Homo-oligomer: A and B are copies of this chain.
Amino acid sequence: MTEQQPTSLRERQKEDRKARIIAAAKSLFLEAGLEKITMEAIAEIAGVSSVTVHNYYGTKSGVLLALVAESDRELLATLERGLRERGETLTDRVLGFFEIVCRHTQTHLDKAIWRQVIAASVSGTEPRFGKLYHELDNRLASVLIREIERMVGAGLLPETVDPAHLGWALFNLQNARFIEFIAAEGSSCEAGLQHLRNDLNALMPGGFPGR
Protein backbone atom coordinates (compact mmCIF):
# COMPACT_ATOMS: atom_id res chain seq x y z
CA MET A 1 0.00 0.00 0.00
CA THR A 2 2.28 2.72 1.26
CA GLU A 3 5.36 3.16 -0.84
CA GLN A 4 8.27 2.44 1.44
CA GLN A 5 11.58 3.41 -0.04
CA PRO A 6 14.66 2.45 1.94
CA THR A 7 15.15 5.79 3.65
CA SER A 8 17.13 6.69 6.69
CA LEU A 9 15.45 7.40 9.98
CA ARG A 10 16.17 11.10 9.56
CA GLU A 11 14.50 11.25 6.19
CA ARG A 12 11.46 9.41 7.45
CA GLN A 13 11.14 11.73 10.42
CA LYS A 14 11.40 14.67 8.10
CA GLU A 15 8.69 13.40 5.80
CA ASP A 16 6.50 12.73 8.80
CA ARG A 17 6.95 16.27 10.11
CA LYS A 18 6.25 17.78 6.72
CA ALA A 19 3.06 15.78 6.48
CA ARG A 20 2.00 16.81 9.99
CA ILE A 21 2.62 20.44 9.10
CA ILE A 22 0.38 20.52 6.05
CA ALA A 23 -2.22 18.44 7.90
CA ALA A 24 -2.16 21.04 10.65
CA ALA A 25 -2.48 23.89 8.15
CA LYS A 26 -5.38 22.15 6.46
CA SER A 27 -7.26 21.54 9.70
CA LEU A 28 -6.74 25.13 10.80
CA PHE A 29 -8.03 26.41 7.49
CA LEU A 30 -11.09 24.16 7.48
CA GLU A 31 -12.17 25.11 10.96
CA ALA A 32 -11.38 28.81 11.02
CA GLY A 33 -10.27 30.16 7.65
CA LEU A 34 -7.06 31.61 6.33
CA GLU A 35 -6.67 34.35 8.94
CA LYS A 36 -6.41 31.79 11.71
CA ILE A 37 -3.53 30.00 10.02
CA THR A 38 -0.51 31.35 11.83
CA MET A 39 2.87 29.76 11.66
CA GLU A 40 2.78 29.42 15.44
CA ALA A 41 -0.56 27.62 15.41
CA ILE A 42 0.59 25.27 12.66
CA ALA A 43 3.77 24.52 14.56
CA GLU A 44 1.93 23.81 17.79
CA ILE A 45 -0.55 21.38 16.20
CA ALA A 46 2.19 19.69 14.20
CA GLY A 47 4.32 19.37 17.30
CA VAL A 48 7.33 21.26 15.99
CA SER A 49 8.74 24.72 16.47
CA SER A 50 7.70 27.57 14.22
CA VAL A 51 11.25 27.88 12.99
CA THR A 52 11.03 24.33 11.70
CA VAL A 53 7.93 25.22 9.71
CA HIS A 54 9.93 28.01 8.15
CA ASN A 55 12.86 25.75 7.50
CA TYR A 56 10.66 23.25 5.71
CA TYR A 57 8.39 25.49 3.68
CA GLY A 58 10.20 28.80 3.63
CA THR A 59 7.20 31.04 4.11
CA LYS A 60 3.56 30.86 5.01
CA SER A 61 2.83 31.10 1.29
CA GLY A 62 5.03 28.06 0.89
CA VAL A 63 2.78 26.10 3.21
CA LEU A 64 -0.26 27.24 1.26
CA LEU A 65 1.39 26.28 -2.00
CA ALA A 66 1.86 22.80 -0.58
CA LEU A 67 -1.89 22.66 0.00
CA VAL A 68 -2.48 23.72 -3.59
CA ALA A 69 0.01 21.19 -4.90
CA GLU A 70 -1.76 18.47 -2.98
CA SER A 71 -5.01 18.98 -4.84
CA ASP A 72 -3.16 19.33 -8.10
CA ARG A 73 -3.27 15.67 -9.05
CA GLU A 74 -7.02 15.62 -8.76
CA LEU A 75 -7.39 18.80 -10.78
CA LEU A 76 -5.25 17.39 -13.57
CA ALA A 77 -7.34 14.25 -13.67
CA THR A 78 -10.56 16.26 -13.82
CA LEU A 79 -9.13 18.35 -16.64
CA GLU A 80 -8.08 15.34 -18.71
CA ARG A 81 -11.53 13.86 -18.31
CA GLY A 82 -13.54 17.03 -18.75
CA LEU A 83 -12.00 18.68 -21.79
CA ARG A 84 -13.20 16.11 -24.33
CA GLU A 85 -16.80 16.60 -23.31
CA ARG A 86 -16.78 20.18 -24.51
CA GLY A 87 -17.56 21.57 -27.94
CA GLU A 88 -15.60 21.07 -31.12
CA THR A 89 -13.83 24.41 -31.29
CA LEU A 90 -10.61 25.39 -29.60
CA THR A 91 -12.46 28.20 -27.88
CA ASP A 92 -14.81 25.68 -26.32
CA ARG A 93 -11.92 23.66 -24.96
CA VAL A 94 -10.21 26.68 -23.45
CA LEU A 95 -13.44 27.83 -21.85
CA GLY A 96 -13.88 24.33 -20.47
CA PHE A 97 -10.38 24.44 -19.06
CA PHE A 98 -11.10 27.71 -17.30
CA GLU A 99 -14.40 26.55 -15.93
CA ILE A 100 -12.96 23.36 -14.48
CA VAL A 101 -10.15 25.23 -12.77
CA CYS A 102 -12.55 27.79 -11.30
CA ARG A 103 -14.95 25.17 -10.02
CA HIS A 104 -12.10 23.21 -8.54
CA THR A 105 -10.98 26.32 -6.70
CA GLN A 106 -14.44 26.86 -5.29
CA THR A 107 -14.79 23.25 -4.23
CA HIS A 108 -11.37 22.31 -2.93
CA LEU A 109 -9.43 25.37 -1.96
CA ASP A 110 -10.31 28.98 -1.60
CA LYS A 111 -9.81 32.27 -3.36
CA ALA A 112 -7.90 33.62 -0.38
CA ILE A 113 -5.35 30.83 -0.55
CA TRP A 114 -4.85 31.31 -4.27
CA ARG A 115 -4.45 35.04 -3.80
CA GLN A 116 -1.58 34.56 -1.42
CA VAL A 117 0.02 31.82 -3.50
CA ILE A 118 -0.10 33.77 -6.74
CA ALA A 119 1.10 36.92 -5.01
CA ALA A 120 4.07 34.98 -3.67
CA SER A 121 4.76 33.53 -7.10
CA VAL A 122 5.15 37.07 -8.43
CA SER A 123 7.11 38.60 -5.58
CA GLY A 124 9.39 35.57 -5.79
CA THR A 125 11.53 35.93 -2.72
CA GLU A 126 11.83 32.21 -2.03
CA PRO A 127 13.60 30.31 -4.83
CA ARG A 128 12.08 26.99 -3.76
CA PHE A 129 8.61 28.45 -4.00
CA GLY A 130 9.08 29.68 -7.53
CA LYS A 131 10.35 26.34 -8.66
CA LEU A 132 7.40 24.36 -7.34
CA TYR A 133 4.91 26.91 -8.56
CA HIS A 134 6.36 26.77 -12.03
CA GLU A 135 6.03 23.02 -12.06
CA LEU A 136 2.33 23.30 -11.29
CA ASP A 137 1.91 25.90 -14.03
CA ASN A 138 3.77 23.68 -16.44
CA ARG A 139 1.58 20.70 -15.71
CA LEU A 140 -1.57 22.73 -16.26
CA ALA A 141 -0.36 24.29 -19.49
CA SER A 142 0.71 20.86 -20.72
CA VAL A 143 -2.86 19.66 -20.48
CA LEU A 144 -3.86 22.39 -22.88
CA ILE A 145 -0.94 21.70 -25.17
CA ARG A 146 -1.72 18.00 -25.38
CA GLU A 147 -5.34 18.81 -26.09
CA ILE A 148 -4.23 20.96 -29.01
CA GLU A 149 -1.99 18.17 -30.28
CA ARG A 150 -4.96 15.84 -30.18
CA MET A 151 -7.08 18.31 -32.11
CA VAL A 152 -4.39 18.63 -34.74
CA GLY A 153 -4.25 14.86 -34.98
CA ALA A 154 -8.02 14.71 -35.36
CA GLY A 155 -7.95 17.25 -38.15
CA LEU A 156 -9.75 19.88 -36.07
CA LEU A 157 -6.78 22.21 -36.31
CA PRO A 158 -4.42 22.78 -39.24
CA GLU A 159 -1.01 21.11 -39.20
CA THR A 160 0.61 24.51 -39.26
CA VAL A 161 -0.20 25.37 -35.64
CA ASP A 162 2.52 25.08 -33.05
CA PRO A 163 0.85 23.32 -30.11
CA ALA A 164 3.35 24.51 -27.51
CA HIS A 165 3.21 28.18 -28.48
CA LEU A 166 -0.53 28.21 -28.96
CA GLY A 167 -1.04 26.29 -25.73
CA TRP A 168 1.03 28.70 -23.67
CA ALA A 169 -0.63 31.72 -25.22
CA LEU A 170 -4.06 30.36 -24.41
CA PHE A 171 -2.98 29.29 -20.95
CA ASN A 172 -1.68 32.77 -20.19
CA LEU A 173 -4.86 34.33 -21.50
CA GLN A 174 -6.96 32.03 -19.40
CA ASN A 175 -4.73 32.55 -16.40
CA ALA A 176 -5.13 36.32 -16.55
CA ARG A 177 -8.87 35.83 -16.19
CA PHE A 178 -8.36 33.29 -13.44
CA ILE A 179 -6.32 35.81 -11.49
CA GLU A 180 -9.07 38.34 -12.04
CA PHE A 181 -11.50 35.74 -10.75
CA ILE A 182 -9.65 35.04 -7.52
CA ALA A 183 -8.57 38.65 -6.92
CA ALA A 184 -12.10 39.84 -6.19
CA GLU A 185 -14.00 37.89 -3.58
CA GLY A 186 -17.28 38.66 -5.29
CA SER A 187 -16.51 37.75 -8.90
CA SER A 188 -18.24 34.68 -10.28
CA CYS A 189 -17.01 31.91 -12.49
CA GLU A 190 -19.64 32.90 -15.05
CA ALA A 191 -18.35 36.46 -15.28
CA GLY A 192 -14.85 35.14 -15.82
CA LEU A 193 -16.11 32.82 -18.53
CA GLN A 194 -17.80 35.70 -20.30
CA HIS A 195 -14.64 37.79 -20.22
CA LEU A 196 -12.58 34.91 -21.52
CA ARG A 197 -15.12 34.25 -24.24
CA ASN A 198 -14.79 37.86 -25.33
CA ASP A 199 -11.00 37.52 -25.37
CA LEU A 200 -11.08 34.37 -27.45
CA ASN A 201 -13.71 35.61 -29.89
CA ALA A 202 -11.70 38.77 -30.46
CA LEU A 203 -8.48 36.88 -31.12
CA MET A 204 -9.90 33.83 -32.85
CA PRO A 205 -13.22 34.66 -34.50
CA GLY A 206 -14.65 31.33 -35.58
CA GLY A 207 -13.14 29.49 -32.64
CA PHE A 208 -9.78 28.71 -34.25
CA PRO A 209 -6.63 30.75 -34.85
CA GLY A 210 -5.97 32.30 -38.23
CA ARG A 211 -9.00 30.67 -39.75
Contact = CB atoms under 8 A, between A and B. Distances in A.
A173 B169 contact: yes
A210 B90 CA distance: 13
Interface in A157-211: 160-162, 165-166, 168-170, 172-173, 175-177, 179, 182-184, 195, 198-206, 209-211
Contacts of A204: 203, 209-210
State how many copies of this chain the complex holds.
2
B122 A179 contact: yes
Contacts of A210: 203-206, 210-211
B115 A183 contact: no
Nearest to A125: B115
Contacts of A160: 205
A50 interface: no
Contact of A203 (B120, B122, B209): B209
Contacts of A124: 115, 183-184
Interface residues of A, number: 40
Contacts of A162: 198, 201-202
B165 A202 contact: yes
Contact of A198 (B116, B169, B177): B169
A119 interface: yes
A2 interface: no
Nearest to A182: B122
A195 B168 CA distance: 9
Given A204-B203, A210-B205, A122 B172 contact: no
Nearest to A122: B119
A143 interface: no
- 6 nearest CB pairs, A to B: A169-B199, A205-B210, A172-B176, A166-B202, A119-B123, A165-B202
Given A119-B119, A169-B173, A169-B203, 13 more contacts: A119-B122, A119-B123, A124-B183, A161-B202, A162-B201, A162-B202, A165-B199, A166-B203, A169-B198, A170-B203, A173-B176, A204-B210, A210-B210
